[in-house]
Amino acid sequence: MAVFSDIRNWDRVVMGLLALLLLFGLVVLFSASSQKQADTGKNFVITQVISLIAGLSVMLLVARTNYHSFLSVAYIIYGLQVGVLILVLAMGKTALGAQRWISVGGFTMQPSEFAKIITILALARIIGDAPQKLRTVSGLIWPLLITFVPMLLIFKQPDLGTAIVFLPIFLMMLWVGGVRLKYFVTIIASGLLSLPLLWHFLKDYQRDRLMVFINPDLDPLGAGYTINQSKIAIGSGMFIGKGWLAGTQNRLSFLPERHTDFIFSVVGEEWGYIGTMCVLMVFLFLLLRGVRIAETTHDLSGRLVATGITTLLALHVIINIGMTLGLMPVVGMPLPFISYGGSALLSNLIALGFLLNVRLHRTVF
């Protein structure tokens, strides 16, 4: 097939690490969802495999098409993305107190997952076209707007976890683009100083999660229940784990959302310290490879795309694992390539497709 005609030039390290994560993810998902499957009759693994096949197909097509082709229409795609996010707020599907989903042709998708990638492309286009503008205050206005418009629309859904990842991505891309240090520090300081104001815009359940993060014993049977069960699961796995399909917190349904946001807790319980460290090392190698691709790409736009995608994946991993360990507030962030969820899996594969794209079509130092 034409898609595989240049396979020898693809980054085999990235492809190999991705294969490890995807295969292990299906193994863990089988265990994490087995009780839910018995209760609901839904086969989560089969559904995930279908999403995986679709995602890999799109990833390969994205990787093979020169990223400059995407950057040339980045503003158009960005505008469509903003329109879809507004549509979600107007008539999106509501579940668990959040209005984040929209149905298209019988399929339900979460547009905010794709908004992160599209925003990265738009930022890479505007910064890459005129990096010298970052050295002026007026030159920062459009990148700020490009970042904040989708971020605020997603925050309104509400989806705090997805909204907060926009800022670190924006900052990293500014840094790579050559922003002046004083502007960079000013933006960070302004963000930190405005954090107290954010409290007044949070929903009650979001405030509860933050309070429980500060004091885990504040509401052990309510807002703190999931994180307490997660820490019990991970801790009980000890060094080698209880064994696949043998985790009690998982099998006895003590751990909520164990097949989605808290699937890392199942890894800790069943595979122990050894299993969690192996997963972390695979993610670390993947992220380091992303950094290497960004460092060795001469084209600024390509470097910005690689930086944004690597930062995005790093944030997902850090936030997800941090919240399962009680080191970060619970914000609803899936673990890339392992957690169940069609939109998240598809968007992460597309993101990795762009990283492969930059590696394939880059000009190097």
Tens of pLDDT, residue by residue over 58-85, are: 999 999 999 999 999 999 999 999 999 9
* 350 membership: H or E segment, kind and range: helix 342-361
Polymer length in residues for the chain: 365
User: For the residues of 25-44, what is the DSSP string, one character each?
Assistant: HHHHHHHHHHHHHHHH---H
Contacts of 43 (CB under 8 A, 6+ apart): 37
Q: Is 108 helix (H, G, I), strand (E, B) or coil?
A: strand
Query: How far apart are the C-alpha atoms of 203 and 183, rounded to whole Å?
Result: 32
* Separation between Cα atoms, residue 301 and residue 62, nearest integer Å: 16
Among 205, 214, 326, which residue's Cα sits nearest to residue 264?
Answer: 326
Please check the confidence at residue 217 and state whether its pLDDT lies above 90.
no
Burial 214-252 (b: 16+ CB within 10 A, else e): eeeeeeeeebbebbbbbbbbbebbeeebbeeeebebbbe
Q: Please state, in angstroms and rounded to a whole number, the distance separating the CA atoms of residues 85 and 118.
A: 12
Q: 185, 180, 172, 188: which is closest to 304 by C-alpha?
A: 172
Of the spans 185-194, 203-212, 213-222, which averages the highest pLDDT? 185-194
187-200: pLDDT as tens digits: 899 888 887 887 77
Provide mean pLDDT across the span 301-326: 95
What's at 149, amino acid-wise?
V
CA 314, distance to chain mean position in Å, is 8
Q: Please tell me the pTM assigned to this model.
A: 0.92
Average pLDDT over residues 138-153: 94
DSSP state, residue 99:
E
pLDDT tens track for 314-353: 999 999 999 999 888 888 789 999 999 888 999 999 999 9
Q: How many CB atoms lie within 10 A of CB 94?
A: 10
Give the gyration radius of the chain's Cα atoms.
Answer: 20
Sign, Cα dihedral of 9, 13, 14, 18: positive
Using CA atoms, how far apart are residues 47 and 103, in angstroms rounded to an integer?
A: 17
Dump pLDDT digits (tens) for 232-285.
Answer: 899 988 999 998 988 888 777 788 888 888 999 999 999 999 999 999 999 999
Distances (CA, A) of 228 to 113, 200, 273, 316: 27, 27, 18, 21
Q: What is the 3-state secondary structure of 222-281?
A: CCCHHHHHHHHHHHHCCCCCCCCCCCHHHHCCCCCCCCCCCHHHHHHHHHHHHHHHHHHH
Single-letter code of the amino acid located at 314: A
pLDDT of residue 2: 47
Distance CA 350, CA 18 (A): 12
